[in-house]
Amino acid sequence: MKYSVILGNLGNTCDRFLSSGYKNNLPTEEMFRQAVSIEGVEGIELVGSWDITAKNVVSMGKLLLDHNIKLVSIIPDHFGQAVWGRGAFTSRDPKVRKQAVDVTKEMIDILDELGGELINIWPGQDGYDYPFQGNFDEANSWLVEGIKECADYKPDVKIALEYKPKEPRNFSYLARSSDTLLTALETGCENVGVTIDVGHAFVGGENVSESIYRLMKAGKLYHMHFNDNYKSWDDDMIVGSIHTVEFVEILYWLEKTGYDGWYSMDQYPYREDGRDALNESIQWLDALRSRMEIYGLEKIEELIKAGSATDIVRELRRLILS
């Protein structure tokens, strides 16, 4: 399994109560150094404007080279500046919508230059908060058009749409796996796919494995973001801190469907050391993967085919504990 992390996971954290930050700001180079020191990490994701801009492309390229790290994705910043406050691709202001596309094209160029693998679009501010605030017809057109324009810019660059049901908006336009797949298909672009963030899917009430199956079947699962939560909110916790069996199921279906993309960490370690938190996530994933392989994928396949809950529970106990 190829592991990567989002660079910002190593940085400072904040929330609406403590906007100055729970920890300390770290220079990009320090975050980079910490990220690549995590055992198993071979790739990095960068957030536009936060981590990567036209101004630091060269130095970032050098960092990647020096550390022999793959640029897995660039996540354009469509959510972290006041201009996006009421929407980026779906802003009622056509200038903002254009800017959302231009920013993405800029990041596509940078990705190209740095030899990166995909553009991960998380349109966090594209949604609505109140009843009657969702202008679904217009918003859907704008979203599809905008993404299409980005995808057509350089058709050999993969665009992965990352969904999330809620936060920062009360309702996001790309909320769950199926509506995001529908939107990807609606663009008509072959290079538009989907990113599953495990925590986002949990909050959305999905069985992540079923989403993996559906997206892989459609040939549209481009990327995975890993974290854990209590299922009701995007707590962005360490993988394996809450769920165990369900992560085995996720690893199984990624393997079974032939997912060959990255296993990227997307966590928000509010009060924890970022490096240590990400390290523990990868350790848990490695450990569960190892247990799964020792147990045997064919045996798991038989359990699934038979569908006996008591057998499954017993065998998962064996898989995990011995």
Name which of residues 46 to 65 contact a second copy (CB under 8 A). none
Cβ(248)–Cβ(319) below 8 Å? yes
Instruction: State which of residues 53, 152, 214, 255 lies at the interface with a second copy (CB under 8 A).
Output: 214
Question: What is the 8-class DSSP label of residue 54?
Answer: G
Q: Between 14 and 57, name the residue whose CB sits nearer to a second copy.
A: 14
Name the segment binding a second copy (CB under 8 A); options: 32-40, 103-111, 145-153, 167-175: 167-175
Residues 216-245 binding a second copy (CB under 8 A) are: 217, 230-233, 235, 237-238, 240-245
Phi-psi category of 219—alpha, beta or left, where left has phi over 0 and alpha has psi -120 to 50? Answer: left
- Give the residue from 135, 234, 220, 132 showing the smallest Cα distance to 179: 220
Query: How many degrees, rounded to 5, is the angle at CA 146 between CA 236 and CA 71?
Result: 50
Q: Between 70 and 135, name the residue whose CB sits nearer to a second copy.
A: 135
11 binds a second copy (CB under 8 A): no
- Give the residue from 196, 195, 198 showing the smallest Cα distance to 159: 195
Instruction: State which of residues 54, 58, 65, 287 lies at the interface with a second copy (CB under 8 A).
Output: 287
Q: What is the smallest separation between the CB atom of 206 and a second copy, expressed in angstroms?
A: 8
Q: Between 188 and 233, name the residue whose CB sits nearer to a second copy.
A: 233
Query: How many degrees, rounded to 5, is the angle at CA 255 between CA 251 and CA 257?
Result: 120
Q: What is the smallest separation between the CB atom of 151 and a second copy, expressed in angstroms?
A: 20
Q: Between 157 and 278, name the residue whose CB sits nearer to a second copy.
A: 278
Nearest-angstrom CA–CA distance, 316 and 248: 9
Binding mask 239-278 for a second copy (x = CB under 8 A): -xxxxxxx-xx--xx--------------xxxxxx--xx-
Q: What is the smallest separation between the CB atom of 240 and a second copy, expressed in angstroms?
A: 6
- Give the residue from 94, 58, 99, 55 showing the smallest Cα distance to 76: 99
- DSSP assignment of 274-312 equals HHHHHHHHHHHHHHHHHHHHHH-HHHHHHHHHH--HHHH
68 binds a second copy (CB under 8 A): no
Q: Between 273 and 293, name the residue whose CB sits nearer to a second copy.
A: 273
- Give the residue from 190, 196, 180 showing the smallest Cα distance to 143: 180
22 binds a second copy (CB under 8 A): yes
